Amino acid sequence: MEKVKSSGSFTFNESWEEKKERALKIVKKLIEMYQRDRILHGDPFFTLIRCIISQRNRDEVTDRVSELLFNRYPTIHALANAKIEDVQKLLRENGVGLWKNKGKWIVECSRLILKKYGGKVPDSVEELVKLPGIGRKCANIVLAYGFGKQAIPVDTHVNRISKRLGLAPPKAPPEKVEEYLKELIPKELWIYVNHAMVDHGKTICRPISPKCNECPLKTLCPYAKGFISDEEIRKT
């Protein structure tokens, strides 16, 4: 990826090396602000299925429905042998959006992992995105939270906050945001980026009415200084 060195709202009038220094300060501060004793959600298969359920759903719905699903189908074999219609019904009755597609993806994923991967969830982005319903964001979530590998899932919070902080261009698509973050942030810290930015996005750097005056990152943030606007980010 070409490293941007020119000045402007994205670069915060800084060189690439200065941007890397600022990115490191930001990530270390976020990790300090949003500490977690444990990064992993569970085993890779649970994480994968949970990620399918989570798409366009609130965390509380995802947590509740994931528990219900695995109580009824506790193993990959149980889900692979389930009727798609039964899984869809469970999702629909418990308020899961896109329940029809997700029910199909969950069963088909289970069957494909058994058939093609010997019952083990693949541990690379390239193989994970071949599974039904799994895009790059979910693939990285499985790597980070299922396998404990260094990865940066770019969800809506990471996308928005990275651009507000001037760590990615306002019009960059999520896959490019991931590339910029991986260039700027030391690899040993990648696994912390998603959860810290998600927590930050829910508490301070909210989509609407962010609390910039209360934010410990405001001196490091071009958005807080008025150099970039939500309108520029929303045009992506």
Query: Which tokens in the block code for residue 227?
Result: 């150099």
- Confidence (pLDDT) at 38: 59
Q: How many C-beta atoms surround the C-beta of residue 158 within 10 A? A: 27
Quickly state the pLDDT bin for 58 (edges 50, 70, 90).
Answer: confident
Is the pLDDT at 12 greater than 60? The verdict is yes
Determine which helix (DSSP H) or strand (DSSP E) holds 92, and give its type and residue range.
helix 84-93
Query: Could you read off the pLDDT of 120-172 as tens digits, one per residue?
Result: 999 999 999 999 999 999 999 999 999 989 999 999 999 999 999 999 999 99
Domains of the chain plus CATH, in order, are 16-36+153-234 (1.10.1670.10), 44-146 (1.10.340.30)
The rounded distance, in Å, linking the Cα atoms of 66 and 133 is: 16
Is the pLDDT at 223 greater than 50? The verdict is yes
- Provide, rounded to the nearest whole percent, the portion of the chain with pLDDT above 70: 92
63-88: average pLDDT:
96
Query: Could you read off the pLDDT of 83-97 as tens digits, one per residue?
Result: 999 999 999 999 999
DSSP 95: T
Instruction: Establish how many alpha carbons lie within 13 A of residue 61's alpha carbon, considering only the half-sphere containing its beta carbon.
Output: 18
Is the pLDDT at 204 greater than 80? The verdict is yes
The rounded distance, in Å, linking the Cα atoms of 204 and 69 is: 33
Is the pLDDT at 35 greater than 60? The verdict is yes
- Confidence (pLDDT) at 5: 41
